[in-house]
Structure 1
Amino acid sequence: QQEAIWELIETEKSFIKNLNVITDVFKNCLLNIQNNQLLSEIETEQLFSNIDALEEVNCQFWEQHILPVLNDSRSSRQPLNPSLFKQGFTTQFHKLFHPYVKWCIDQKNCVDYQRTKYSENELFKTFVVWAEAQPQCKRLKLTDLLAKPMQRLTKYSLLVNAILKKTEDPHQRQDLEEMIEHIDRFVTHVNTQLRNQQEQERYESIIAKIEPYDAIEAPNEECVKILQEYNTNFDLRAPMPGINQVSRKLLMQSALKLKDAQARMEVDCFLFTDLFLICKSNKRMDKYKVLKPPMRLDRILVHDLKDKGSFLLIYLNEYHVPSTAYTFHANESAVKCWLEYIKKAQVSICLLSWSRS
């Protein structure tokens, strides 16, 4: 047990040294260079995010929750007591380690920014190579060091669990189990925030490719300008009608064959939180033209057909009578997937609307 506790303490000490290296050898040296009017084009916040806050977090964690365990053992001449970690890993953990949420969300962009500047900017490359050659780095690259905080956060649960496996005292076991529960809960929270951020980035990249709405053909030249005023009302970044607090997300996207009374064509369909969009892709431009008016999910009916490789979509108007009907065709598994996703999305949007009414 004592060996497992020492593993937690020693690795925490080593991790704080890694944070010191990032701030002292890389960030502070870069700031000093920038004070001399060099590398001023490098955005330090984009490169290091809130690394100073993380250093403060772990130094505070050491002072308030790790060091007292060591001091207690020294003064009492008793083995290290893992129950003394409890406050740091339970009631204080979420509040104290909150800056890690921003770090984990920013980390990929920080690493991407570092790699881009490293390949584009010879002076910055020279600085990074010099910094990485310093003995404090112990041959670690900047990208390796920037990955350390997220790795450390996910390792706490493993380290405490290793102590639990070697612990027999029932009171200590209960305390350790509670610590693991709080750590895992916080890591789950961070992962949720990270996943939301990734979904938002994916959403932004998709809607940037969707061209401005222009799906209705004007009867004549005079009507074009009038119609255009209303076309601009369609904005995928605008809040969902009646559900302002929830961000719209892309739930599904794929190519389908569409058939209506006039024609049969290849289309790209997008299922969002609250609407269904039919587009035509321009692969050369990597853009999507909106082909049909957007359809609210709460007015859509879908039915499977005898041909398992197709389904019927009916769009109802305000009077609950069909205004449009299409059949969509794909392989059987894709059709099944679309039907499941549409129905699931309809239930979700219904629950969201109900919870806010």
Structure 2
Amino acid sequence: MQTFALPDDGPLQGLVASRIETYGGRHRATTQNPAGSLYPRGGPVLDPSRRRFQDYVPFAKGSGQVRGLSPLKLREPEHEKRHGGHLGAGPPHSPKLKEVPKAQQLEMRLHTFSMFGMPRLPPEDRQHWEIGEGTDSCLVIEKSWKELVPEHKEMSRELCHQQEALWELLTTELIYVRKLKIMTDLLAAGLLNLQRVGLLTEVSAETLFGNVPSLIRVHKRFWEEVLGPTLGEARASGQPLDPVSLQDGFLTFSQRFQPYVQYCLQVKQTMAYAREQQDNNPLFHSFVQWCEKHKRSGRQMLGDLLIKPHQRITKYPLLLQAVLKRSPEARAREGLSAMIAAVESFLQYVNKQVRQGEEQESLVAAAQRIGPYEVLEPSSEEVEKNLRPFCTLDLMSPVVGVAPEHTRQLLLEGPVRVKEGREGKLDVHLFLFSDVLLVTKPQRKADKAKVIRPPLMLEKLVCRPLRDPSMSLLRGHFPSPSSWQGEGAVRMGIKY
């Protein structure tokens, strides 16, 4: 292996100095050899690009394109300096520079992260993404609950099982928080630091990780105010963990865990965004692979990490039910039943919000596909002018006659054949909403549908089966602007 020594005033000193400044002075100890060259951790390190460190141009403070750091550049090889390169000869004694490819820049940055550790986030990002390492000292737990209870050998078998169930609740909570912090301390920190030097700037950390920092803060507070005190009480008294001491914390579950509503509403889009970036962005794919192989990640995949919050929030009732099953005391059973009911009530609320969000997305997508409402043929320009305000179809408007929380939903859509009269047949596409049925004609040039019949109000729609089991007769009423009063009617035979 080739070693190299650099003078004190050489490029490497500038490179290391810039690293120390970037890392906020939190660099690891280095060793200076007799010749004066600096090696991280006391030994030489070869750059993954196989070029010499002498070939790197040190960072110039304040000259960068993004947040004060400049992109890496390489000096031209010696033979190009002597004979001229394809970029042309430069001024005497001024080495020509060329931009390092993005993939090589990324490799060098990740190699630096591996050597020095992850830099601290820029000041503008710390408030949101940094959770605080100092508070992690309270997130510790013994290997077993038996270490807390000296007289555990004298306990009944059923009480031991209860303590095991409570211990699972506590230990899995800490494991989960540590996995969440992989997203902030490794993935998000790495991404934001790469963006400081112009790499992966097209990737949005907020879109990728949502409100994960808020979830971490929720769980740290939950540990400090609910789970931690129960553990501390057992440590101090030497008595078994008391499930009733958790009651006040779990009864306020919906208030404490409110950020999960936002996360669960966005998790589908978050995972789709992560898949899209990994499939279409080679640099991001390389970055994620590096993170997944990092010792901090514990081989956790990005997709698995993103779904963890949904899995954790739905696991609390199961963990509490396991404790309830092993708690014979009436007081403990009553408290645990109330806790389970509070958590399940919150989960039902979250599911309702997610379902409404999905229904809203379907409605928006359908509204974008359905074109203008032009089913009337006015007899004159004057009639057309007066009818135009009544020929708009706003599917996003509130449903008439119901409370605001009852929004329009797309229930079903699909192609059918309509028979009008004795001979007329037409292939159409039906959209069945919670309050109206639309008859449309698909457009060939785009994924659009044009309304070709007046909207049929479901409250006045009559469907009659015919002898042919594949056909039905529809008779519906619709507002008739052409007469300005009363209603129009339509009869159609639909073949499925």
TM interval, shorter chain, is: 0.7 to 0.9
For 1:223-302, list aligned pairs within 5 A: 226=385, 229-230=388-389, 233-241=392-400, 245-246=404-405, 247-261=407-421, 263-282=424-443, 285-298=446-459, 300-302=460-462
Q: Tell me which amino acid in the other structure corresponds to 1:327.
A: M
1:35 positional shift: 2.2
AA at the equivalent of 1:200: Q
The aligned runs of 1:16-95 (5 Å cut-off) are: 16-90=177-251, 92-95=252-255
**Aligned pair partner of 2:314 in 140, 144, 154:** 154
Query: For 1:236 and 1:152, how far apart are their aligned partners in 2?
Result: 37
The question of 1:326 aligning with 2:487 is answered no
- In the comparison of the two structures, how many residue pairs are matched? 328
Q: Give me the whole-angstrom Cα distance separating, in 1, the residues matched to 2:294 and 2:370.
A: 48
Matched to 1:236, the amino acid is L
The answer (yes or no) to whether the contact 2:250–2:339 under 8 Å persists in 1 is yes
Match of 2:150?
none
For residues 191-206 of structure 1, the aligned pairs below 5 Å read 191-206=351-366
CA offset digits 1:61-105 (Å, max 9, x no partner):
111111111111112211011111111211x20001000011111
SS of alignment partner, residue 372 of structure 2: coil
Q: Distance in 1 between matches of 2:420 and 2:309?
A: 54
The higher radius of gyration belongs to 2
TM-score norm. by structure 2 comes to: 0.62
- 1:134 aligned residue: 294
Q: Which has the higher helix share?
A: 1
Q: In structure 2, what is the equivalent of residue 105 of structure 1?
A: 265
Q: Give the superposition deviation at 1:110.
A: 0.9
Following superposition, the deviation at residue 178 of structure 1 comes to 0.8
Instruction: Please tell me whether residue 312 in structure 1 is matched to residue 459 in structure 2.
Output: no
Name which of 341, 348, 360 aligns with 1:181: 341
Contact 1:209–1:287 under 8 Å retained in 2: yes
Task: Please state how far the C-alpha of 1:303 moved relative to its aligned partner.
Answer: 4.2
What are the residue-to-residue correspondences of 1:210-225 with 2, within 5 Å? Answer: 210-219=370-379, 222=381
| Alignment partners' CA distance in 1, 2:441 and 2:311 | 43
* SS of residue matched to 1:137: coil
Question: CA separation in 2, counterparts of 1:72 and 1:315?
Answer: 70
Counterpart Cα distance in 2 of 1:116 and 1:36: 23
Compute the displacement of 1:224 (Å): 9.5
- For the 8 Å contact 1:213–1:231, the answer to whether it is kept is no
**3-state SS, counterpart of residue 59 of structure 1:** helix
Give the CA deviation at 1:200. Answer: 1.2
Q: 2: distance between equivalents of 1:69 and 1:57?
A: 17
Q: TM-score, normalised by structure 1?
A: 0.84
CA distance in 1, matches of 2:432, 2:362: 14
Note closer, same or farther for the CA distance 1:279–1:316 as it changes in structure 2 (3 Å cut): closer
RMSD of Structure 2 on Structure 1 (CA):
2.4
Following superposition, the deviation at residue 219 of structure 1 comes to 4.2
| Separation in 2, partners of 1:118, 1:314 | 50
Unaligned runs of 5+ in 2: 1-161
What secondary structure does 1:136 align onto? coil
| Deviates further, 36-45 or 10-19 | 36-45
CA contact (8 A) 2:372 2:392 kept: no
For 2:485 and 2:329, locate their aligned partners in 1 and report how far apart those are by CA, in whole Å. Answer: 67
1:132-159 CA distances to partner (integer Å, 9 max, x unpaired)?
1111211111111111111000111111
Unmatched 5+ stretches in structure 1: 332-357
